Structure 1
């Protein structure tokens, strides 16, 4: 796993760092060093693919689906990455991989989507450094609907039962996402990315922030609307996402001591407290995201929401979770839906009670939601951006 080098002068993107150091101690210093650490294994593969072209991608794809042992004399960087991916840490339970994410599969898909949009992605885009990199990739407004769908497909494959087993779609696509991050990092550095200001593109801290956006952030969001999970349930969630962090190349120091929302909160506080306020890039990304999301939420076959209703709900739950100050900074307008959110939360809390008290309800919910996600991952036309990057003809 990658390790940080000493960083006496942290990147200028950090704000309130003295206060963070006083509160979090060595964790703050370690975080600052990690702003200059990317992903050596994935970065080496990108260099190798550039040299090998189509042949390298064929080898990589076969290795991801069939395993390192299926390759004869693989290139060294591809072999090293596959070896790390296939080395299952002793803290991973094979039974849990077969079962999938035990908590995400208890949340109705429309609430999962609202938590992902109004919670996770909004939180991610509020970071100016992440927003700057995403805006630089171009056409973010036109591509927002597609990116939303593609990220949803990856997440669905990653949480489905068996999705993270070697060669399964969630395993393969997580590795492809990791390599796409390495490609973006390489391209940004070649085009003059200011590392003194921003740190390495998609560094370990940004990856940790993304990981938190799929663990603690959406579930703290969901608590605001009635979906509260017990500590033992949270532990199953984090154990599943530990392995995703491993596949994404995140240093274990960021996540192995995180077992529930309570132990995730200090890291979330550290990262959030040292991020500058949202900027124009952040606001542009959130606007594009919400515009796309409203069409998705109102256009679903089973949706009872009009575009105006979807917009009101999305704005309302986003402001409920992030608070008025951050919502205003991101230009998320006030919502007429705010008064009805407590009523909605009561209904969701009743669903959670039935899942925990009525025999068979939780298992039935998991199966129904799994069926929904299996249909979702099979209905996205064409290759995703992370899949295209790995195709031999690209």
Structure 2
């Protein structure tokens, strides 16, 4: 059992504590404690919904759409507590920022965000054995990977769209629904023999922090290796915006308050990665399934980008370029024949990006063009029954992760 300060329970999933402590000091003990913490507000709502049934779900969905005040003088206690928290916009949030949307993500061509950003985000999430174990236990890989890819992409588009996080807007509702899906999965795991002494609380605060980094630092690092780099202003705006997403997801502010740009976010990522065991068989299975789903999505349309084998090889190369050979090897990502050509591809993207961001007008024009793709509603139509984070709050609680 790893050592920590007195009275701190350290889950067995934490590794190399002394080495990590030399770099991060007392934050290691904070990390150990947060591995045992879930999301009490969201957990209480799930218990309340199970008790109240259809009426509870109706009230919650009405509250998300129209606000707590719409529920009258005596709303259910747990639902009211959650709504108070998400409706209390922190003082540091700029309303104009929410109206503009998350401009860094919108500035990236959708094809490249899907090909490079989304792939790297999900693969890095899966590299955590604890997260991978939970996902494999609660879903079928053959059906889960395509759904998760579609649903995650739809959520990101809703959450980053101009005005998407304003109260009652699609991104605001979807983000809180994702939070409650995490709580549903946490309850299901604990009811089915999850070993908290070994793995910590399922979808702990640490796991949510990792996921948050996988939609800020991880995808934009991958995009940078492909030649699509953010300006300093875009980088700062990215973390300011996603700090509000973290608030809605129930991530404690202490985790992301110091992550104000890519440089400071890397410190947090190192804290998490340095105490995480190497990827396991579950991580490799999820990675393989996700890459297969990504290839199917990009090669299965009426005008595929390239033949399937070449596309799969390209994704392997992009992931290896982003993560490095050591992590890629441990995730089972094959060596790519595209690797020698990726620097040239990055150069082409870099030149295109330079012209795109040359002036404020050209950057805004690029964002408008990128935002003109299929709407989240059109993507939702491709997900049978709608996304899992929506379904489980509308009466379908079976297979919450599938």
For 2:380 and 2:369, how far apart are their aligned partners in 1? 16
**DSSP 3-state at the match of 2:243:** helix
> 4+ residue stretches of structure 1 with deviation over 3 A?
300-303, 375-382
Structure 2 counterpart of 1:50 = 50
For 1:138 and 1:6, how far apart are their aligned partners in 2? 38
Gaps of 5+ in 2: 398-402
Instruction: Report whether the alignment pairs 1:385 with 2:388.
Output: yes
**DSSP 3-state at the match of 2:91:** coil
For 1:77 and 1:299, how far apart are their aligned partners in 2? 44
Change (3 A) 1:103 1:373: farther
- By how many angstroms is 1:85 displaced? 0.6
Change (3 A) 1:139 1:20: same
Structure 2 counterpart of 1:341 = 342
For 2:208 and 2:197, how far apart are their aligned partners in 1? 18
For 2:113 and 2:374, how far apart are their aligned partners in 1? 11
Contact 1:157-1:377 within 8 A present in 2 as well: no
Contact 1:54-1:393 within 8 A present in 2 as well: no
Structure 2 counterpart of 1:69 = 69
Query: 1:102-251 residue pairs with structure 2 within 5 A?
Result: 102-251=103-252
For 2:16 and 2:374, how far apart are their aligned partners in 1? 41
**DSSP 3-state at the match of 1:234:** helix
For structure 1, which segment, 220-229 or 243-252, has the greater mean C-alpha deviation from structure 2 after superposition? Answer: 220-229
Contact 2:298-2:305 within 8 A present in 1 as well: no
For 1:184 and 1:198, how far apart are their aligned partners in 2? 15
For 1:325 and 1:368, how far apart are their aligned partners in 2? 37
Contact 2:380-2:387 within 8 A present in 1 as well: no
For 2:41 and 2:6, how far apart are their aligned partners in 1? 20
For 1:255 and 1:34, how far apart are their aligned partners in 2? 13
- By how many angstroms is 1:228 displaced? 1.4
TM-score norm. by structure 2 comes to 0.94
For 1:117 and 1:324, how far apart are their aligned partners in 2? 19
For 1:373 and 1:178, how far apart are their aligned partners in 2? 25
Instruction: Report whether the alignment pairs 1:313 with 2:329.
Output: no
Give per-residue Cα distances to partners, 1:355-393, cap 9 Å, x unaligned: 221452211111111121526545434311010000046
State the aligned residue count: 390
For 2:217 and 2:50, how far apart are their aligned partners in 1? 37
For 2:185 and 2:380, how far apart are their aligned partners in 1? 27
For 1:259 and 1:393, how far apart are their aligned partners in 2? 38
Give per-residue Cα distances to partners, 1:265-296, cap 9 Å, x unaligned: 11101111111011111111111111111111
TM-score norm. by structure 1 comes to 0.96
Contact 2:133-2:282 within 8 A present in 1 as well: yes
- By how many angstroms is 1:110 displaced? 1.2
For 2:286 and 2:382, how far apart are their aligned partners in 1? 22
Give per-residue Cα distances to partners, 1:217-269, cap 9 Å, x unaligned: 11111111111112222110111100100000000001111110001011101
- By how many angstroms is 1:111 displaced? 1.1
Change (3 A) 1:393 1:292: closer
- By how many angstroms is 1:341 displaced? 0.6
**DSSP 3-state at the match of 1:277:** coil
Contact 2:305-2:311 within 8 A present in 1 as well: no
Change (3 A) 1:6 1:239: farther
Contact 2:100-2:162 within 8 A present in 1 as well: yes
Superposition CA RMSD, Å: 1.5
Contact 1:164-1:171 within 8 A present in 2 as well: yes
For structure 1, which segment, 370-379 or 237-246, has the greater mean C-alpha deviation from structure 2 after superposition? Answer: 370-379
For 2:78 and 2:51, how far apart are their aligned partners in 1? 12
**DSSP 3-state at the match of 1:278:** coil
Gaps of 5+ in 1: none
Structure 1 counterpart of 2:275 = 274
Change (3 A) 1:293 1:378: closer
Change (3 A) 1:278 1:243: same
Structure 2 counterpart of 1:13 = 13
